[in-house]
Amino acid sequence: MKIIPKYWRSLDHLADTPEFRQWVEREFPSGASEFTDPVSRRHFVRIMSASFLLAGFGLTGCRRPEEKILPFGKAPENYVHGVPQFFATAMPTRSSAIPLVAKSSDGRPTKVEGNALHPDSNGAADRYAQASVLNLYDPDRAMRFVGNGNAVKREAALDFLGEVSKKAQADGGRGLCFLLERSSSPSRARLQKLIGEKFPQARWFIYEPVDFDIHRQAASLAFGKSVTPYYKLDEAKVIVSLDCDFIGGEEDAYINIRRFTKGRKIEKPDDTMNRLYAVEALFTLTGANADHRLRVSSGQVLTVAARLAVEILKQRGGFDEINSAVQSLAGSALANEKWIVECAKDLLANPGKGLVLVGQRQPLAVHLVANALNAALGNAGKTVVFNVVPEAKEGTISDLAQALNAGQVDTLVILGGNPVYNAPADLNWAQTQRKAKTIVRLGYYEDETFAVSGWQLPLAHYLESWGDARTADSTLVPVQPLIEPLFGGVTELETLARIGGLETIKPHDIVRETYRGIAGGNEDNWKRFLHDGYLPGSASKPVETQFNASAAAKAIGAAKPAMPPTKDSLEVVFHRDYKLDDGRYNNNGWLQELPDPITKIVWENVLVMSKKTADDLGLVIRNNENNQLFVPLVKIQVNGRAVDSAGAGRQYSWSGSRLWPPANRPRWTRLRLRRLSSACHDGDAFREWREVGAHRSDTPACHYTRPLDDGRTAAHSGGEFEAVSGQSALRQGDEPRGTAGCSPAVPQPARPAQRKGSAPVGYVHRSECVCRLLGLHGGLSE
Amino acid sequence: MSDIFPKWTNRLPLQIAIGALLAGTAVTAGIWYYFTPKYARVGYEPIQPVAFSHAIHADQIGIDCRYCHSAVEKSWYSNIPSASTCMNCHNQVLKDSPKLELVRESAATGKPIPWVQVHKTPDYVYFNHSVHVNRGISCVECHGQINKMDEVHHAKPLSMTFCLDCHRNPGAHLRPPDKITDLNWKWNDDPKIAAELQKQNGDKFVHDWKVQSLQSCSACHR
């Protein structure tokens, strides 16, 4: 008989089912106790508790760790641990250098400031110099020597340079081409000369995506000898800037700032201030500081310059050839006639105390007009003086592309730069470069060019290198290392010397030898030079110049005025970024974090246009319920080539191996900078640059745009874009209206992309194009 | 049926209470004493790789502390001398002594001598030697009579209280700047007169040298 329990705990208990009986018999629910592992749970706990107990007996955590103090065997001179040391050095820039005093904290460079001893710098330094310290410690730097895709030993790579040298020695350097960046280093110039003598058939080329050489080119043409202008802004009473951002984006802006503000300082009651007239398309720092700002499109600056020249030459007389050349460019009266007339009056009222400056973006004709005006007004030799510089004999990257395509290049040596990334798109550089049989590249990152290079050597940072440079006034400055190359990197000088098969290979000895040639062999003077950070009296003496009106008039006459932009043919202006330069500081968080001085944008790339242009193009800001602004991706097509958004064209992450987009890891792409075919304007005078940069937020594979080199437009999937500029806000809207010239093309309406198997992720693609699009209808100031 | 609890258990609660109290006191006292730097640090005397005697060098020969610890007035860090400093004398004196084998090797090859650290402030404490030494705090205040030690041992606790005691009353410890490294120096042999002089001069030094003796947290815990 079944015993019915008096008390029961559950209905199963009462019913006394077989399942219940089984359940009761088991200690754990089925499955839980069925470890197949020979180490049972209980065994594990037993062992662990014993271990903890023993650990407790040992009192390992309570023991005093015995620490060692390791003093020097032989202490370095003047070194006190814990007290920073300071060394004079310089940061080389394209055609100049910034003299610096670098702080070394226990052997690590930690901070740089301007060298106040230098006669021409007034102790100033710019943001690039300040932030360059961070680049030294960039974890994404190229850290290894690579030969044909494999990491090799440093010695093997250097041996290979020796082989290149031997081969060149055998055939006089036939098929040996060097692609360089601009540099003011006398040592490099000397090595180039030595190698040129040794290998007479070797060829030299220079490429800079943002180049300031136009100032030298124009002055040399206008004055008939190889000279470069040097501006004395502090002595100018009337300054006219023709699209020249001389206190922002131009070279040596850090000096110009001090000079310019010196002319604005009022200390006595009868002091007067200088007056700044700015003609510009962008809203720049110079425009923001101007007393009178004239907003015209970039292409129209030539017309304004010509109009100004007509007004001035009418009064001054002479310069007939120039006068006739500018007459045709000046065209009919402009809407801004009155502004120009007043500006001309002011310049005429201050002969010898005015200064006309032209920006690096502007074509040669505008530079020549400005040189003519400075000569006509007697400013040349007073507010702008001319220093003799060596003639540039190097070819351009287009010349190199021609040589490559003609199969004339056996060995291509690329020293610095990233041409695969920022060479003119027309050259199709990635493919063109492959035509060289051997490629040796000295690079700071393992980037796009690295991927197409056979051999790559890591480039040493300037704080790790011996070198030299000349500042704006041609004063010789040393580049001293503060630390051994962190990853065994080599300098440009050493690479050149090894390829040249020269006797002196150590960069220090090369620099020392150059110095000996300039200033003699006195050891004390050399030490003084290193200590003070400049060579006294090495600034070049300005030369007397005679304006060559006929040559200038000929070049001016060859220029054609650009058509004013219309809604259907907009003008795109690509400019040197205030923070990232041409993109070289893209991996620098300090600079990325720095707000743009005009738009206040950080970590972003935007396309800036006037509200009116945006309205005309049907680009409107959408405001969602959370009060977030969304703008669409704007795509710019120029002559069939398109500038696109995040990640576009950036195929390689910094590690050099993974394909873009990297898995789940936020990465910063580098600014993309390419010379566009000059479709926006007639003639090829205008330099347009396209810069695409990107901020990738944590967006796995949200969109991937194909590289742009095939000339087709890139496809986009969704993504939302945030308005980043109060004035510019764009977002998706209508279909593009026409594609003649430049026109923003608008992608499909944005949808929030979804991660696989999860809820919609609310990420925002922040903006994309860095370029500022400035339309017919006005600039930012409205 | 007998009692479950015998009679003696009546006193048990009292015994337990007293026992617990005694045990608690003992544990507290033990932790109080043995876990403090006074016990944990003072007296620490590791064997150094080179049998260097401060007693001989500083006391007997009378070499100033700053001859070897040359950075103490310039840096937050008081350096251990490089082997080449030792060799300044020992290339003449005891130049073949086997005891100095390591020093000679270090000076020749640059391989450092692994001295064992005795005095240590934790990483979360900022301490600057130069500030103290230049304001009349003698080495002896923190390191004890190093000049009497053959093997250096930890003489003072260097605890937070230790720092604060002095920072709250710096006048009691300041001495004339030229006596900083004279570890035997006293104001007077008579303790009474010495105390009197210390009081008079200490306060004057605090005023004259603008001794701040900061007590804010961030002065040391930066």
Residue A86's pLDDT is 95
Among B71, B77, B110, the residue with its CB nearest the CB of A73 is B110
Q: H or E segment at A571? A: strand A571-573
In a domain, A66, yes or no: no
- Among B46, B108, B112, whose Cβ lies nearest the Cβ of A72? B112
Q: Which of A388, A415, A448 is the last residue of a domain?
A: A388
How far apart, in Å, are the Cα atoms of A132 and each of A89, A336, A469, A538? 13, 42, 17, 26
Structural domain total, chain A: 4
A604/A577 same-domain check: yes
The reply to whether A63 touches chain B by the CB within 8 Å rule is no
Q: How confident is the model at residue A111 (pLDDT cuts 50, 70, 90)?
A: very high
Q: Which positions in chain A touch B118 (Cβ < 8 Å)?
A: none
Q: Check whether A19 has a pLDDT greater than 90.
A: no
At A177, the pLDDT band (50, 70, 90 cuts) reads very high
Confidence (pLDDT) at A715: 28
Cα A340 from Cα A649, distance rounded (Å): 43
CB A494 within 8 A of CB A505: yes
Whether residue A742 is found in the same domain as residue A686: yes
pLDDT tens per residue across span A22-63: 877 776 666 665 556 667 778 888 888 888 887 766 665 666
User: Is residue A282's pLDDT more than 70?
Assistant: yes
Same structural domain for residues A226 and A169? no
pLDDT over 70 at A99, yes or no: yes
A350 and A301 co-located in one domain? yes
Chosen domain end from A60, A78, A99: A60
Q: Is A67 on the interface with B (CB under 8 A)?
A: yes
Comparing A157-171, A207-221, A374-388, A620-634, the range with the smallest average pLDDT is A620-634
Position B10 pLDDT exceeds 60? yes
A355 closest CA partner among A238, A277, A257: A238
Q: Do B84 and A71 touch (CB under 8 A)?
A: no
* Contacts with A226 (C-beta within 8 Å, 6 or more apart), sequence order: A216, A220, A388, A389, A390, A391, A392
Q: How confident is the model at residue A466 (pLDDT cuts 50, 70, 90)?
A: very high
Question: CA of A73, closest CA in chain B: separation in Å?
Answer: 4
Quick one: B9 exposed, middle or buried, by C-beta within 10 A (0-12, 13-18, 19+)?
exposed
pLDDT for A51 equals 85
Is A457 found in the same domain as A410? Answer: yes
Confidence of residue A125 (pLDDT cuts 50, 70, 90): very high
Residues A434 and A302 in one domain: no
Q: Is residue A104 part of a domain?
A: no
Average of per-residue pLDDT across A161-178: 92
Residue A695 scores a pLDDT above 50: no
pLDDT in tens, B32-47: 888 888 888 888 999 9
Whether residue A652 has pLDDT greater than 50: no
> Of B45, B47, B80, B91, which to mutate for an interface test with A (greatest number of A Cβ within 10 Å)?
B80
A491 min Cα distance to partner chain B (Å): 28
- Tell me if residue A343 falls in helix, strand or coil: helix
What is the rounded distance in angstroms from the CA atom of residue A687 to the CA atom of residue A466? 34
pLDDT tens-place string over residues A485-540: 999 999 999 999 999 999 999 999 999 999 999 998 899 999 999 999 999 999 98
Domain boundary residue, one of A25, A44, A60: A60
Most confident of A60-64, A688-692, B6-10: B6-10
State yes or no: pLDDT of A679 exceeds 60. no
Write the residue in B74, B107, B115 that is nearest to A73 by C-beta: B107
Residue A693 pLDDT greater than 60, yes or no? no
Query: Is residue A543 one of the residues assigned to a domain?
Result: no
Peptide bond into A661 cis (omega under 30): yes
Q: What is the pLDDT of residue A658?
A: 30
Look at B111 and A73 and tell me if their CB atoms are within 8 Å.
yes
Residue A74 at interface with chain B, using a CB cutoff of 8 Å: yes
Confidence of residue A617 (pLDDT cuts 50, 70, 90): confident
pLDDT band at A234, cuts 50/70/90?
very high
- Contacting residues for A307 by C-beta, under 8 A, at least 6 apart: A330, A331, A334, A337, A340
Complex-level ipTM: 0.86
pLDDT at residue B75, as a whole number: 94
Q: Residue B89 to residues A73, A262, B96, B149: CA-CA distances in angstroms? A: 15, 59, 12, 21
Domain range list for chain B: 72-80+117-220
What's the pLDDT band for A709 if we cut at 50, 70, 90? Answer: very low
In contact, A565 and A299? CB cutoff 8 Å: yes
Quick one: A403 and A483 in the same domain?
yes
Q: Which amino acid is it at A366?
A: V
Q: Please indicate if any CB of chain A lies within 8 Å of the CB of B94.
A: no
- Sequence-separated (6 or more) residues with CB below 8 Å from residue A403: A177, A203, A409
Q: What's the CA gap between A646 and A693, in Å, rounded?
A: 6
pTM exceeding 0.80: no
* CATH number of the domain encompassing residue A472: 3.40.50.740
CATH, residue A357: 3.40.228.10
**Same domain, yes or no: A203 and A246:** no
User: Over pLDDT 90: what percentage of chain A?
Assistant: 49
**pLDDT score for A746:** 33
Domain that holds residue A773: 563-782
pLDDT at A240 over 90: yes
Helix (H), strand (E) at residue A338: helix A337-349
Q: Report percent pLDDT > 70 for chain A.
A: 76
Give A604's pLDDT tier (boundaries 50, 70, 90). confident
Expressed in angstroms, the distance from the first to the final Cα of chain B is 73
Instruction: Locate B174 and state its tokens.
Output: 């300041």
Between positions 80 and 99 of A, the ones with CB within 8 A of B are 80-83
CB burial readout A582-619, b (16+ within 10 A) else e: bbbbbbbeebbebebebbebebbbbbbbbbebbebbeb
- A458 and A143 in contact (C-beta within 8 Å)? yes
Q: What is the mean pLDDT of chain A?
A: 78
| pLDDT given for residue A38 in this prediction | 67
Tokens of A389: 């510089």
Instruction: Identify the pLDDT of residue A647.
Output: 33
Regarding predicted confidence, which is higher, A60 or A663? A60
- What pLDDT was estimated at residue A61? 60
Looking at the structure, tell me whether residues A626 and A768 fall in a common domain.
yes
- Residue A700: what pLDDT? 27
Kindly indicate the confidence band of residue B66, based on its pLDDT and cuts at 50, 70 and 90. very high
pLDDT of A678: 27
Across A229-233, A610-614, A616-620, the highest mean pLDDT is recorded for: A229-233
* pLDDT over 90 (residue A768): no
Verify whether the Cβ–Cβ distance B84 to A73 is below 8 Å: yes
Dig out the tokens for A605 from the structure.
């790339």
With CB atoms and an 8 Å threshold, state whether A68 touches B46: no
Q: How is residue A576 written in tokens?
A: 């040197």
Mean pLDDT, to the nearest integer, of A566-587?
A: 86
DSSP code, position A694: E
CA distance A509 to A500: 15
Residue A169 has pLDDT above 80, yes or no: yes
